[in-house]
Structure 1
Amino acid sequence: MVYSGVLTKMQTEFLEPIQYYLVFKDDFLHVNQLLNKNLSLTLVGHECLSCGLDREIYRQGFCKSCFFDKPIAGDWIMRPELSTAHLGIADRDLEYEKSVQLQPHIVYLANSSNVKVGVTRKSQVPTRWIDQGAHEAIEIVEVPNRYLAGITEVALKDYVADKTNWRKMLKNEIDDESLQDWRLRLKEYIPEEAKVYFIENNNETHLNFPVEQYPEKPKSLNLKKEGNYSGKLVGIKGQYLIFEDQTVFNIRANEGLVVDINV
C-alpha cells in the first residue's frame, strides 16, 4: 500500500514504548506497526510548510522566502535568549511572538548521547525530550516567558553541553547519569532573574523507544540526493527511522518533502 504526503515531524504518545505517527493530509501511519516490515521511500516533490508552494526547502521545512520572512522561523526560535515580546518589541510579528514567547517555558536537562541543557514550552513536555531521543530528562526551572528560559540556558551551557551527538544517540551509547545531582550542581549558575523559578522537588522522567536493533555505524539517508530508498524498519528513536542496513532517516530534518511511502 502506498501512502503519500508532506513530511512533518512525527507525532508521538508518551507510552511504553513511545508511539509514533506520520500524519498526512489524507492519511496517517502508526509507525510502530511498521517495525520489521520493508518500506520504500520516494521523493516526489516539495511543499513549504508555511506558504504551501512547491518550492525547494531551505531550512526547517520552509522555502527560503518564508524562512526569512515568517515569524514562525524567527531567530528567537533557535536562540530563545533573543526573545523580546516581554518588552513589547516585535521581531517579525508581535502578536504571534507574544502567543509563543509569553507562556510558561521549561529549562531542562536531558540525556540522549550525553547530558545536555535545553529549553521548551511547558506544553511541549515530554514531546521535546522524545524528539531528541533522550532516555531520561528532568526540569530545572519553570519560567513565565521564553526570554528568561533563554538566558538561563545560555548561562548553564558554560557548564554542560547544549547539543546532542546524533550518532551516539542512535547507537545507544549512553550512560545513566543522576540528573538530580546535575541540576543541583548547576543551580548556583542560574541567572538571578530566574533563580526564584528553580523547581525544588522534582523527579526524572524515563523514556523507552521502540528499537529492536541499534545501528553500529549509522548512515544518514539523503533523500533529496538519492531520490528513493528501500529497507526493513527496525527502530524509531527521536525523529529518526532506523533500518536494518544501518541507514537512518531524520524525519524532522526532511520536513517539507513530499514523499510516497510504500509498505
Structure 2
Amino acid sequence: MQYEGVLRKMQTEMGSPIQYYMLFEDDFLNVNQLLNKEVQIEFIKYQCLNCGKDLPIFRQGFCKSCFFETPSAGDWIMRPELSTAHLGKEDRDLEYEKKVQLQPHIVYLANSSNIKVGVTRKSQVPTRWIDQGAHEAIEIVEVPNRYLAGITEVALKDHIGDKTNWRKMLTNNVDDEDLVTWRNKLKEYIPEEAVDYFIDNNQETHMEFPVLQYPEKVKSLNLTKTPIYKGILKGIKGQYLIFEDNTVFNVRGSEGYYVGIGII
C-alpha cells in the first residue's frame, strides 16, 4: 500500500494510547496501524507549505523567502513576548496576528525529558504537549493574549528550563515529577500583569504514547542525506517515528518534504 503527499505535523487524538494521523491532500493514514510493520519512506521533492514550489525547505516547512515573508513564521511565533497585536501594531499581517495572538493562551509545565515551561493557545491543549512527547503536563496560567503568556514564560525561565532534550525523551529516560508542587512553587515568579490568571485547582494530565520498543541510542533520519529508508515501526512519540534499528524520524522537522510512504 502506498501513500504520497507533503509532510505536515501529524494530527493527534487523545486516547490510551494516543492516536496519530498523517493527512495528505487526498488521503489520510492512521499511523498507529503501522506498528510492527515494515515501512518505506522516500523523499520525492520539496513543496513549500506557503507557496507550494519545489524549493529547498529553510525552516518550519517554508522555503527561505516565504519564511521571511509569511505571517505564520513571524518572530513572535517562537518568542511570544514579542507579540504586538494587543497594541494594534503590525509585524507582517495585523489581521492574521490579531486572529492568533488575541485569544486565550496557556502557560504550562510539561515533563518530556525534564520539566520545562511553555506557551500554547488554549485550543492547542493537549495537542502541544503530545507534540513535545510529554508524558505529563499541567496548566499554570490562562491569559487572554499571547503577549501576557510570553512575558510570563520569560519570567519563569529564570527558575525552570524551557527546552526539551529530544534524545532523552525518545529513549524514555524520564522521571515522574509532582507538577502541582512545581506549579505552586513558581507562582511567586509570575509577572504582576498575569498573576490574577493563575490556575490553582487543576491536576496533571497524563499522556500514553503508542511505543512498543524505545531506542537504546537514537539515530536521526535525514531525508536529504538518506532519501529512501526502510524500517520496522516500533513506536510514535512526540512527532517522531521510532524504528526497530534505533532510527528516529522527526515528521514535524520534515514539513514541506513531499514523500512516498509504503507499507511493505
- Is the TM value for this pair above 0.5? yes
In structure 2, what residue type is equivalent to 1:45? Answer: K
Counterpart position of 2:56: 56
Q: Match of 1:224, SS?
A: coil
Q: How does 1:36-75 map to 2 (within 5 A)?
A: 36-75=36-75
Number of residue-to-residue matches in the alignment: 263
Counterpart position of 1:220: 220
Counterpart position of 2:109: 109
In structure 1, what residue type is equivalent to 2:87? Answer: L
Unaligned runs of 5+ in 2: none
Shift of 1:226: 1.0
Counterpart position of 2:205: 205
State how far apart, in whole Å, the 1-side matches of 2:25 and 2:73 are. 22
Note the alpha carbon deviations across 1:21-47, whole angstroms, 9 max, x for none: 000001111000000000011100010
Shift of 1:49: 0.5
State how far apart, in whole Å, the 1-side matches of 2:70 and 2:33 are. 36
Identity among equivalent positions (%) equals 75
Shift of 1:260: 0.5
Shift of 1:62: 0.3
Shift of 1:120: 0.1
In structure 2, what residue type is equivalent to 1:103? Answer: Q
In structure 2, what residue type is equivalent to 1:7? Answer: L
Note the alpha carbon deviations across 1:210-235, whole angstroms, 9 max, x for none: 00000010100011111110000000
In structure 1, what residue type is equivalent to 2:238? Answer: G
Q: Match of 1:181, SS?
A: helix
In structure 1, what residue type is equivalent to 2:165? Answer: N
Note the alpha carbon deviations across 1:74-96, whole angstroms, 9 max, x for none: 00000000000000000000000
Q: Match of 1:120, SS?
A: strand
Q: TM-score, normalised by structure 1?
A: 0.99
Shift of 1:148: 0.2
Q: TM-score, normalised by structure 2?
A: 0.99
State how far apart, in whole Å, the 1-side matches of 2:224 and 2:191 are. 43
Counterpart position of 1:243: 243
State how far apart, in whole Å, the 1-side matches of 2:224 and 2:151 are. 36
Unaligned runs of 5+ in 1: none
State how far apart, in whole Å, the 2-side matches of 1:189 and 1:101 are. 23
